């Protein structure tokens, strides 16, 4: 496997990287060419980078089972697990799951859950590949000349060392050779090939406040934000239209019920850990992670990582108590 330029070590709580001297017109730069001043040097990453598309969550093609074995969702072992993920044979959940949430998840799993998840995962992967290949043709570029445009939120990487961004084909002229399309993030939502997955503070890289404190939503104004923020509005509209048209994961006969984050949590034996805001509500209360089912549609959820909850509390938000 090719080396990754940025790697994460969750056991040691470290993220590390590899780099080499930056390129110049004549090849790798010398220290005299790459050291700008006492605290700045130009480098190029040594190894591949993984990019995680912001604001979306697609079905998992493969993942680790509770026993730690990594395998594809098409395997019999995954079929057995998702047939009854709360069975004693899979070990206890590390965090208690309230009866209401357990029933909610229980209605989404069953004997066909793994195969269905894999089916939609492959379809999402192929849709993404097709979009990139189409863009290469439109731009009349090959794999050696085609480039991507990335736009980052507040957090440039996630806990796995992957870049977090909105991604598109790199097209400097907005109208040539054709009108610049929406990002791959949005195009996948439009085709019903991804669930929306909005995690604060990485909401709208094109309209990002100067500081993270300024990005905190005032209590009771989430619905107003969702209706006025261009990126949130476009993404939520795309999801609703895909659902109405029964596209992809919203297929009328074979819809994907178990969301990818739910599958990952079940396999890790943990419950939801992020608080959330209901984007359809004028409430001033952060919903408890275990109550996320109170917001039935994924496009109406804005997830708040626990580390940022005190920031919201200082701004006047209340925090919902843990369900019994």
Give the integer Cα–Cα distance in Å for 145 and 36. Answer: 28
* pLDDT tens for each residue of 152-205: 999 998 888 889 999 999 999 999 999 999 999 999 999 999 999 999 999 998
pLDDT over 90 (residue 3) = no
Give the integer Cα–Cα distance in Å for 59 and 42. Answer: 38
Residue 2 pLDDT level (bands cut at 50, 70, 90): confident
Residue 316 to residues 43, 133, 285, 309, Cα–Cα distance (Å): 43, 47, 9, 11
Give the integer Cα–Cα distance in Å for 312 and 201. Answer: 11
DSSP H/E element including 78: helix 76-83
| Strand locations in 241-280 (E) | 275-278
* pLDDT tens for each residue of 11-70: 777 888 889 999 999 899 999 999 888 888 899 989 888 999 999 999 999 999 999 999
Model-level pTM greater than 0.85?
yes
Residue 216 pLDDT level (bands cut at 50, 70, 90): very high
Please state the rounded mean pLDDT for residues 234-263: 98
The per-residue pLDDT of the chain, averaged, comes to: 94
């Amino acid at each position: 496997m090719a080396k990754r330029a940025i790697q994460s070590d969750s056991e040691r709580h470290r993220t590390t990287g590899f780099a080499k001297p930056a390129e110049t017109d004549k090849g790798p730069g010398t220290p005299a060419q790459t050291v700008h001043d006492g605290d700045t040097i130009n480098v190029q990453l040594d190894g591949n980078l993984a990019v995680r598309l912001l604001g979306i969550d697609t079905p998992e093609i493969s993942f680790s089972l509770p026993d730690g074995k990594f395998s594809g969702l098409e395997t019999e072992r995954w079929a057995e697990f998702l047939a009854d993920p709360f069975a004693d044979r899979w070990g206890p959940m590390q965090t208690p799951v309230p009866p209401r949430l357990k029933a909610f998840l229980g209605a989404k799993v069953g004997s066909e859950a793994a195969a269905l998840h894999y089916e939609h995962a492959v379809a999402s992967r192929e849709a993404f590949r097709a979009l990139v290949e189409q863009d290469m043709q439109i731009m009349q570029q090959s794999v050696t000349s085609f480039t991507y445009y990335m736009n980052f939120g507040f957090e440039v990487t996630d806990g796995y060392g992957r870049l977090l961004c909105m991604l598109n084909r790199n097209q400097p002229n907005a109208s040539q050779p054709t009108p610049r399309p929406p990002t791959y993030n949005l195009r996948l939502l439009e085709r019903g090939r991804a669930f929306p997955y909005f995690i604060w503070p990485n909401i709208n890289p094109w309209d990002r406040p100067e500081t993270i404190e300024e990005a905190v939503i005032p209590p009771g104004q989430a619905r107003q934000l969702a209706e006025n923020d261009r990126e949130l509005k476009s993404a939520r509209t795309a999801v609703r239209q895909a659902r109405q048209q029964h596209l992809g994961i919203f297929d009328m006969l074979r819809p994907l019920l178990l969301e990818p984050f739910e599958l990952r949590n079940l396999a890790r034996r943990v419950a939801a850990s992020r608080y959330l805001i209901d984007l359809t509500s004028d409430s001033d209360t952060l919903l408890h992670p275990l109550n996320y089912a109170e917001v039935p549609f994924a496009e109406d959820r804005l997830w708040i990582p626990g580390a940022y909850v005190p920031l919201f509390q200082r701004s006047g938000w209340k925090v919902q108590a843990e369900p019994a």
